[in-house]
Every structure is written in C-alpha cells, then in structure tokens.
A and B are shown apart, each in its own frame.
Chain A
Amino acid sequence: MKVVLQDLTKIYPSRTRKGEEVRAVDAFTFEIPDGKLVGLLGPSGCGKSTTLNLISGLEAPTKGKVFFGEDDVTALPPEKRGVGLVFQNYALYPHLTVRQNILFPLQNLRGKEKLTKQEMNTRAEEAAGLVQIDALMDRKPSELSGGQQQRVAIARALVKMPRILLMDEPLSNLDARLRLQTREEIRRIQRETGITTIFVTHDQEEAMSISDLIVVMKDGVVHQIGKPQSVYDEPVNLFVAKFLGTPGINLFTGRVQQETLLIGEEAVLPVKGCADGKVIVGIRPEGFIPSEHGCVSCHMERVEVMGRDTSVVSTHPCALNEVIRSIISAEDVPNAASGVIRFEIKPNKTYLFNPATEERIRFTGTEQGGET
C-alpha cells in the first residue's frame, strides 16, 4: 500500500497570547512507494513524530491530505485506518501476558472481521514466530528484556495485518549492541511481510543502514528525500550534509576565484561553472588522501586507530570544525612526528555551499570519478 502525503501541514497554536504558533510540519508532499521501508530522519523537535501521528490519525492535520493507496484517509479516525503503530516506549499492557498483548488487537475485531478463538491463536502464534518470541508467550512484559519487549510490540502491531506499519523511534530504548541486532531484525521482518513501513529516528546511522528511502527533516520542513546513499553523496544543502555521516563532514571557509576553489591561500580544486565569491567547503572524512604534494596543508594533532578505521585528526586555520577528521587507509598513515600533513582531496567528496542560503553550489571538476 503506497502512502501519499499531500501538502501536509500541522500548526500548533501558541500557548500564550503573544507567542508564535508552531509549524510542526510544513507542507509535506511525498509519495511513499508500496512495500518500502522509509526512515523519517531529523534532529529532535523537527516534526518527524508529528508526521507519524498525522499518518496514524492520532493527530489531525491543519491542512493537506493523507492517502493510503487511492483512499483519502485524512478524515478517518485512527481506528479505521488500519495502521499498526509501535511506540517508542512499546506501550505493552503490563498486566497482560505476551500472548494477551498480541491477541488484544484481534479481540477488538467486530462484524465480518471477527475471528474465532482458534484463528486468533493461530494469527498470534504466527506473529510471535515472525519476531521470534514464541517461547515467551506466557510471560509478562516486565519479565522481558528491552529487545524482547520491542519484538512483542512489533508482533502486536503486525498481528492485525495493518496496511501500514509505523514505528516511533523503535530503537532508541535499546543498548548499542541490541540496536544493531534489532535494526537488522526490523529490516528482515519488513522484507518478509512486505508491509509499507515508516519509522522515525534521530539517528542517521540507523536510518541509513536499513531504509530504502530516507526523508531528512528540520523544523517541520523536508530538506531531502532519497535513497540513503544518494542523499549522503548528493546533499542538497549544508544541513543535510552536516546531519549525515559519522564522523561528520569537515567544513572550511573558502572562496572561488576564476573557477578555482581556494581554502586559505591554497588552490584546492578547479570548480567549473562556479561564480566567484565566498563559499563553505564541506569535505567528507573519506575525501582526504595524504600526499606529500597535497594541496591542503593541515597541522597534524594525532592519529586515531579505531578497529579497522584509521583517522587523522588535524587542524586548519580556515576550518569551521574544531578539528578535521579524515579517514585514511592504513597504508597511508603518515609519519606522526611531522607537524604538517598535506592532503589531496577527492572532488566527489567535496561540496560547496552558499554561506548565506546554505544551499549547495554545483560544480564540475576536471578529474571527476575516483572511488564512490
């Protein structure tokens, strides 16, 4: 079932008479294709949870429409939309066993949808099997670990075979190891059921790793929608570039002069098609190659080796970040004693932004390509 959001807007009136109204979601238009896993990504307070509530029907939009497939569901209350929702805190009924929790939505079915006890049990067992909690059916939620509770919550959302599955920060209450495991699990469950799934997260790594599509939001406004890798490779503005990637993108002040990018006084890259003027230069950590004749000279601080990654931490007078982090291959580790380290930079890992509007400035380099 595809989900179409049309000019979706939610405005909260101000609490005080003189205060400003809050535009939690501003003119969100987007079509989520059938059977995809979509991550709504943004810093906290960006309106992603509100968007989820608008889709579920728990909140009514100020303006705009929501379609499930061809049906306009904007006016439908949540109970008639047929969505499954997994809450951030799971919201499992603490006094009911796992089985009773999973059965709960089925017992609400009335009329021609009503199931026999036998059918309900079969459905509950199936849902529990899908999330691999069939052995825990007679426990209370308090006797389960966080990850297990999360699975129960997913099973409860899936058991009524929803048209859309919504998840609000599904991994934020789990510890790091469990988070990795559970996000794979969510991916697997979504693939197996083929249900269009929308989840909300503030963790870009989480969204990047499992989503088919990510929607990057800030202050109620959608900044970019696309496949995780293409959003990472082609950010439309400074916010998106900064928000995606760990370690984050390195930023410099620079300027363009006669189609050449300068950082400080060093000519760094030929940038065809760019007007002269000041720019913000963003370079991904993997965009640096240490080289004796490199065009960016930084002051070396230290080399950090974390697992398989080797990163060089250095400083540069024009950098907007405190330190520049570059991830390099282990063979290229420079002599740590030398004070100055020089880098070549990869044009396809380098982005220019307008310092005023923060919009991306496109350019064509002379030596396009390299690794992606």
Chain B
Amino acid sequence: MKKNSLRPWLYLLPAIAFLGLFMVYPLVDVFVYSFEEGYNSASQTYFGTGFYNYSYVLHDPYFLQAVKNTFLIVMITVPVSTAFALMISLGLSSLKKLQELYQTIYFLPYVTNTLAVGLVFMILFKRTAYSEGLVNLLIRFFGGSSVDFIDGPYWAKMFVMCFYTVWVVLPFKILILTSALASVNQDYYRAARIDATPKWRIFFRITLPMISPMIFYLVITGFIGAFKAYSDEVALFGTDLNSAGMNTIVGYIYDMLYGNSGGYPSYASAAAILLFAIVLTITCINLLFSRKNVTV
C-alpha cells in the first residue's frame, strides 16, 4: 500500500524537480528580491527590506512611459489584429479557388524572423539622409508632408509599432480562425439558408458563437503576448528604447538588469512582479467575461 502511494510521486519527480528548480524557485526568488533594497547579485547583499523598490519603480518616468506604451500596444493591437484576422479568415474560407495558396501567403509572416521583418519595416518607414523611406515617398506622392516614423513624433512611432505588431501576430490568428471556421458543421448554414436567414444574422447568431471559444483563446493569448512584447520594439527602434520613448515593461525589466543603466535586480524584480499582477488581473477579467459570453 505504501509502495503504491510512493510510486506516482517517483514518476513525477523529474518534472517536479525541473519545474521547481527553473520555474517555482526563480518566481519565489524574484518575489523576495523585489522586497530587498539595493540587492547586489555579486556580493549577495542588501541593505534592508520594504516597499522601496516598488515605490522607486512606480515613480520612475521611464517605467511609467513603458506601462503607457505597453497598454497602448495591448489595447490597440489585440482587438485590431483579432478583427482583421477574423475578416481575412472569413474571406479566405469563402474563396473557392486558390484558397490554399492564399492561406500560405497569409501565413508567411509567421515563419519569418522578427529581426528581418523589423529591418524591412525600417526600410519602409525610416527616413535617412539618403532616402525618405517608401511610406514617406507615398505620402509625398499624395501631397502630404513626410513624417519620421522611426525617430519622429510619438504618435508616428506608436503607429509603426502597432502596425508592426498587428502584422506579426496576424498569421497565427488567421490560421486558428480559418480552421475554426472550417470546423463549423455546414448543416447549420444549410438550415439557416432554408430559413432565409440574412447574411449578417448568420454571422452574428451562428458563426460567431460557434467560433467564440477560439476567439476567446486568441484574445487571452494575444493579451499575454502583447504584454510581454519586447523584441519587436528592439527590432524597430534599436536597443536604447528609453531614449526613443518606446520602451515596454519587459524592456524596462531587461534594461534594469543588463542595459546601459542596468545592474539593479531589485528594481527589475519589482517591475516584473508588477507586470505579473497586471497580466493576472487582465486574464481574470477575461475569464469572467468569457464565462458569460463564450458558448462551447
């Protein structure tokens, strides 16, 4: 009897050991660091405990800027990309010819390297001494005045950032949504046709509820992914995100640890815990919302 009760634990041991060592322990450690003032990882010393790290981070204008940027990116890109993906998937699934070709084309960005894509965006948007960038050429062509999207005004940089993020996350969402649309039993649409259901009503009353679990999945993972955005910003604006005013929370944490102004694990830990709290809250709100609205 006793042997039996030990055996499952033995099987679980490798996984528990790994997860404990590389997930749980660092999590707890980060939590502890965030309360230790002036922790030095080299000497393993600190001068005191308390909420000072949080207070510092929350009063740091760079952090506040990063929070603002992150929230803007999340709030703009998640709904926009999901809506776009839904529209494109609807278009794709109503195609009769060459559907697979178009699906492949729409999926290409997913398999393209982030930094390579960033470079392409730079070429499209950046204004240099030699060239204006393709987008500016177009703006000039239509009679507008050119804007520096990479080093220019905040709104222009934020626009490029959101545009880029939407473009990068779109393929995965399209992939998920086209397969969700394809999995809806055609009999529902036949039944709706027989009953003379208008197209918009078929979409809102049948299609949307049927694929709502997948949309919900995309929104949750989209939120979490956008909150963790960092590499996309680096690809577009370089590593000195603070001076570009385009830092994100994860970027701030990285800078606090390793950046030019780095070497402050305590501040980084406090910021990480704050990010964790934000993502947790948003996910809980999403779950509560979905319980009411998502039908499975």
Contacts and interface: CB of A to CB of B under 8 A. Distances in A.
B195 A87 contact: no
A58 B193 CA distance: 8
Interface centre among A58, A77, A89, A105 (most CB of B within 10 A): A105
Interface string A90-115: 01011110000000110111100000
Contacts of A105: 195-197
A96 B295 CA distance: 9
A160 B195 contact: yes
A87 B188 CA distance: 9
Interface in A330-368: none
Chain B interface size band reads 10 to 19
Contact of B194 (A58, A93, A95, A96): A58
Contacts of A80: 196
B198 A108 contact: yes
Contacts of A70: none
A91 B195 contact: no
A161 to B, nearest CB: 12
A43 interface: no
A290 interface: no
Given A87-B187, A89-B185, A89-B187, A78 B194 contact: yes
Contact of B191 (A91, A107, A109, A110): A91
A83 interface: yes
Interface string B248-269: 0000000000000000000000
A85 interface: yes
Given A93-B206, A95-B209, A95-B295, A85 B188 contact: no
A83 B194 contact: yes
Nearest to A166: B194
A51 interface: no
Contacts of B197: 79, 104-105, 108
A110 B205 CA distance: 17
Interface string A56-89: 1010000000000000000001111001110101
B201 interface: yes
A73 to B, nearest CB: 13
A95 B205 CA distance: 9
Contacts of A96: 205
B92 interface: no
A75 to B, nearest CB: 16
Given A83-B194, A87-B190, A108-B195, A95 B210 contact: yes
A58 B196 contact: no
Given A91-B187, A95-B295, A84 B201 contact: no
A297 B206 CA distance: 65
A93 B198 CA distance: 16
Contacts of A93: 188, 205-206, 209
Contacts of B190: 58, 85, 87, 91
Interface of B: 185, 187-188, 190-198, 201, 205-206, 209-210, 295
9 contacts: A79-B196, A93-B205, A95-B210, A95-B295, A104-B205, A107-B201, A108-B195, A108-B196, A156-B191
Interface of A: 56, 58, 77-80, 83-85, 87, 89, 91, 93-96, 104-105, 107-110, 156, 160
Q: Lowest 7 A-B CB distances belong to which pairs?
A: A79-B196, A95-B295, A105-B195, A91-B187, A91-B191, A95-B209, A85-B194
Given A79-B194, A91-B185, A160-B195, 14 more contacts: A79-B197, A84-B194, A85-B194, A91-B190, A93-B188, A93-B205, A93-B206, A94-B295, A95-B209, A104-B192, A107-B201, A110-B198, A156-B191, A156-B195
